[in-house]
Each structure stands twice: as structure tokens, then as C-alpha cells.
Amino acid sequence: MKETTNKQLFERDLESYLPTFKRFPLAIEKGEGATVWDVEGNKYLDMLAGIAVNNLGHCHPAISKAISEQSKKLMHISNFFVSRPQVELSEKLIELSGLSRVFLTNSGAESVEGAIKIARKYAHSKGRTGEIVFMDNAFHGRTLATIAAGKKNYQRGFGPIPTAFTPIDFNNLEEAEKAISTKTAAVIVEPIQGEGGVNPATTEFLKGLREICDKTGTLLIFDEIQCGIGRTCKMFAKDHFGVQPDILTLAKGLGSGMPVGAVLCNDKVSGAIEPGDHGTTFGGNPLACAAAIATLQTINDHQFIKDIEKKAAWFNGKLEDLKNRFKSIVEVRGKGFMLGVVVEGESKPLVMELLDHHIIANATAGNVIRLVPPLTISQDELSHFLKVFEEILKKHEK
């Protein structure tokens, strides 16, 4: 019997999938642009974009075309060989980032794991320890090393946790100066914390970290898995701050839905790496690379960036207007189309009400509504969200 309802597929999932997710009771069937449809034909406005993955929306023609054409030629060969898409993607990432070397992965957590390994290899080549300094409220993934560089609640039940990970307060330069020394291997920071509540770093903090790292010979890692690839209306969030890291991690939006990530580094770091130090089976396969190339070509267009800057500024202004009118909204923060609406009390009930109105958003950090829609979303679609959100806020304040 073919399942035709959300409930049927939801219940089958409960019986077969490891219970790691608290899913919405929806089975999504298809998507186009900023719209998705469930298996019952209901239509939803997607303000989450697969958690900042579908930056070009669902089934963007350029991405679908690139995947289709590449799938007819070559999908996987292993990294014993080179392929044209992998070489071209690496060259494009170097050109856009100003860094020197690329290692391609399958996911964000894998990118961060790779960055930590590379940083420690460099540190050991200089006679240092492998200590990694990270930020309170950070999120870098769900693997053992990435949860070691994250919140304690993600570590519960998974000990022993890898050691030599030291937390400091985000945006606190005084703490950073005390924690970072000539023994430290690297400092890892999200220019805008995502899962932690959409918290932007200050320019002063990131520039200060760069200066401390330069002074102590410590590597600076930027995790741009969520805030990179046009999400903040620049190709990389680092470009807002004028700070260049030694290592940069990417994933999410890089493949517009195809699983692909990257670790980028400068020549100083790459000089410590030798054949066999790291590897991957699927990372950098031709199919994923073709999707990533098409993504970068589409976003790296002057008019495209100009258009999303205009839309994002308008939308941010409208959210600020709502904040000024409704006491339920405490703060609106973020950059571009990576926004967090901080509310009084828990944000999840508001997110569930949005879902009742067929709008998909996300509750994070307890009291934050995370809004990371496709960059291609129209102003009319944004207006629809604002209208529904305003109605919900009015209802709550009564």
C-alpha cells in the first residue's frame, strides 16, 4: 500500500529510523524556490531552507541542470584520481576566499574534524600541544571532536570526550588573551553563531583574535558552515569583518542540497600536510562538485548579490518595525538572510503556530526564531511571512 498521508509516513519513520530527531509531523514531497509541498499536497513557505542549505531555493534550474549533466558522465572515481569538477571547484574556492589549498568533504562536521586535524598537525610540526580554544555557545557538529568543542549538553552520555578543548566567552577579548598562548594549536570561531542563537561576532573581537593568534603563532579557524556561501549577502561572512583566517570550513549552502563541504587553508598550514595525513572516500566526488560549481557561479554574480542585499535590508527593517511594536520581540540580530528573532519566553510555540499557518521556521537556543530562507525568496513571500507573523504576535500579546 502506498502511503499518502503525513501521519502514515511519520509513523513508519518512527518504526525504522534511529530516534535522533524531533521531527515536524510532515513528509515533504517536493520543492520549488521557497516553497515545499507535503505528500498530501499542502503548500508551505520555507523560511528555513533545510537549515541554511538551500541557499538558491529548492530545485534551482542551474543546480538541477549541473547535477543531471554530470550524472550522465561520471559520479564517483575515488581520490586516487583527479576529475575536472574537483579541480575547477578547488580553483574557484581559492579564487573567492583568498586562501591557498582545499580539501573537499561530505558535511560540516567532517569539515571541522578535518580543520582540527590539520591544525594539530601544523602545531605538532612546531613543537606545540594540540589544544583547541573554542567559544561558549558554539556549535560545530555532532561527531566526538566537534561536540568536544561545543555545549556540555551535547556531550552527555558520550564520554570519554576528547581532551585539550578549552572554552572561552564569545566576543570576550580579555578572556581570549588569557586563554591563547604559544602552546595553543588553534582557535575556532563562528563569525556568526548559528545553533547558538544567531549571535554575530563583533569586528573588534575577530580582529583582536587575529592579532592574538599572529602574536602567539596560533592558527585561526573560521567555521562558516552556516554563515558562508552568500547567506549574509557576501560570499563569506569573514568579508564583513575584514579578517582572514588560516583555515576556513564550509558545507551546507555550498552544494545547494548536494552533500559537499570543504576545508580551506593558507600555504603556511598546508606545508605541514603530507600524503596519507587525511583522506575521504566520497569527498570531492564529481557529482557533488558539479553542484557546488553551479552554486558558486550563480551566487558570485554582482546583480544577484545586489538584489539579495536590497531584499535582506528591507526584510530586516520590517522585523525591526515589529520589534518596536510588539514587546514579545526582544531583539532582531544577524546579517543578511541569517537572522534570529529573540522573543520573550520559549520560541518553539511561535514556530509551531507558524507551521499551523504553513510557514516553516526553526526554534533554537530556547528563545530564538531562526530565519534562514532561500536567498532567492521573493519580496511577496517575505511579506506573506511578515503578515502571518504579525497576526501571531497580536494573538500572543492579547
CB distance 187 to 180 below 8 Å: yes
Task: List the catalytic residues.
Answer: 139, 223, 252
**Can you tell me the distance from the alpha carbon of 217 to that of 15, in angstroms, rounded to the nearest whole number?**
52
Quick one: DSSP state of residue 373? -
Owner of C-alpha cell 507535503: 38
**Can you tell me the distance from the alpha carbon of 45 to that of 38, in angstroms, rounded to the nearest whole number?**
11
| H runs (alpha helix) in 144-254 | 144-148, 173-179, 203-216, 238-241
**Can you tell me the distance from the alpha carbon of 250 to that of 44, in angstroms, rounded to the nearest whole number?**
28
What are the residues whose beta carbons fall under 8 Å from the beta carbon of 159, sequence distance 6 or more? none
**Can you tell me the distance from the alpha carbon of 295 to that of 324, in angstroms, rounded to the nearest whole number?**
37
**Can you tell me the distance from the alpha carbon of 49 to that of 360, in angstroms, rounded to the nearest whole number?**
9
CB distance 374 to 57 below 8 Å: yes
Owner of C-alpha cell 575521504: 280
**Can you tell me the distance from the alpha carbon of 265 to that of 278, in angstroms, rounded to the nearest whole number?**
14
Reading phi first (left if > 0) and then psi (alpha if -120 to 50, else beta), residue 230 is in left
Beta-strand runs (E) in 72-114: 101-105
